Amino acid sequence: MLQGPAPEPGASAGGEHPEARGFGSGRSWRWEIPLLIALLVGLPLLAIALARQLAQAAALRLPPEIDAALGRPSWQALQLSGARCDDAAALRYVEGVLRPLLDALGPTPWRFELMVSDAPDVNAFALPGGYLVVNAGLLSAAQTGDELAAVLAHELSHVTARHGTQRLAGGLGATAALGFVLGFVDLGAPAYTLAELASLGYERGQEREADELGLALLQRAGVSSLGLATFFERMSRAPSPPELLSTHPDPGGRAERARQAAGGYQPNLSLPAPPPVACGGVKAR
C-alpha cells in the first residue's frame, strides 16, 4: 500500500498545524479572552490615573491667578442668578465667623469673597480662587458658631490646597487620556463611568486633607474643633443626609478624628450661635 509522506512534527492528524488554528481556538480561550478583557479595561483606567496624577502635579505649579480665573465665571454667574440671600444680618454673621479664620490663615495669594445664598440645602462650597458660598440652609441647621466655623475652615482649606484647580485639571487630563487610548470616539456612559471610578479616591482624598487642614486652622484661630464633630454626627443621623455629606468620607470617622484633635486643646474664642435666617425657602428659627 502506498503511503504519503509522514506528517511534520507537531502537526495534527488532519494535517492542520496547531499554530494555524488562530486566536481563541482550541483551549487557548481560557487565558486569551480574560487577558483581552483585562487589557481593554485596565489600559483606560491606567491612562486615566496617570494623566490625573500628572495634571494634579502640573496644577500646583500654575500661578495662583489661574485659580481665580477658573472660579470667577461661576462666581459671576451666581451673582447674577438672583440666589443671593437678602438677609443682611446673616451675611454680617458669617463674615464675623469667617474673620478669625482668615486672620489665622495669614497672607495668602487669594482675595476671599463671600456670598450667602438663599438655597435651603445644608451646604457650603468654595470655588477656585477664594470664592465662598454659604447656603441659608446651613445657617439654619448649624446650632453653634463652632459648627459653622468648622465648615468654613474646611472650605477655606479646599482653596488654600488648590483642590478645585487640581480637580479641574485632573478632569481635563482624564478626558484627554480616554480620547488617546480609545481613539477619540464617543463612548457615552462607559467612558464616563471609567472616569468616575478613577476619580473617586482622588476626591475623597481631597476631603480628608481639607478636614485635617481645617482642624489645624480652627486651632490656630482659637476655635474649638468639636463643632465639626457635633455637626457631622447630627447630620449623619438625619433621615436624608444633606448634600454636604454626599461626597465626603464617613461622617462617623470624621467626627471621631475631630474629637481626638480637640483633646487637651483649650479654645480661647467664643463664637455666637447663628441668628434666625429669613430668606428664600428658609424659615426663620
pLDDT, residue 242, reads: 60
Look at 56 and 261; give whichever has higher pLDDT. 261
Mean pLDDT of 90-94: 96
Report, as an integer, the average pLDDT of 83-107.
95
Q: What is the pLDDT of residues 146-204, one digit of tens each?
A: 999 999 999 999 999 998 888 776 565 445 545 555 554 444 444 444 454 444 444 77
In a domain, 124, yes or no: yes
Distance of CA 1 to the CA centre of its chain: 81
Inside any domain, residue 281: no
**Predicted pLDDT of residue 49:** 64
Contacts of 78 (CB under 8 A, 6+ apart): 84, 115, 117, 133
Average pLDDT on 103-108 reads: 94
User: Residue 109 sits in which domain range?
Assistant: 37-262
Give the CA distances from residue 7 to residues 17, 20, 21, in Å, rounded to whole numbers and listed in that order. 10, 15, 17
pLDDT in tens, 248-283: 556 667 778 888 877 777 888 989 999 998 886 665
DSSP, residue by residue, the chain: ----PPPPTT--TTS--GGGS-TT-TTTHHHHHHHHHHHHHHHHHHHHHHHHHHHHHHHTTS-THHHHHHHHHHHHHHHHTT-B---HHHHHHHHHHHHHHHHHH-S-S---EEEEE---SS-EEEETTTEEEEEHHHHHH--SHHHHHHHHHHHHHHHHTTHHHHHHHHHHHHHHHHHHHHTS----HHHHHHHHHHHHHHHHHHHHHHHHHHHHHHHHTT--THHHHHHHHHHHTSSS--GGGTTSSPHHHHHHHHHHHHTT------PPPPPP--BTTBPP-
Q: Is residue 71 part of a domain?
A: yes
Highest mean pLDDT among 134-148, 233-247, 254-268: 134-148
Work out how many domains the chain is built from and give that number: 1
- 7 belongs to a structural domain: no
121 classed as catalytic: no
What gap in Å lies between CA 39 and CA 125, rounded to an integer? 38
Closest Cα partner for 129 from 75, 52, 205? 75
Q: For a pLDDT cut of 70, what percent of the chain falls above it?
A: 60
Please indicate, yes or no, if residue 10 is contained in any of the structural domains.
Answer: no
Mean pLDDT rounded to a whole number for the chain: 76
CA atoms within 13 A on the CB side of 155: 25
The answer as to whether 276 is a domain residue is no
> Residue 76: inside a domain, yes or no?
yes
Q: Considering 67, 87, 118, 211, which one is annotated as catalytic?
A: 211
| pLDDT over 80 (residue 25) | no
- Give the model's pLDDT for residue 3: 54
Written as one letter, the residue type at 48 is: I
Catalytic residue from among 8, 95, 155, 186: 155
CA distance 116 to 88: 9
- At which residue does the C-alpha cell 496617570 appear? 50
Instruction: Note whether residue 153 is domain-resident.
Output: yes
Task: Decide if 95 is catalytic.
Answer: no
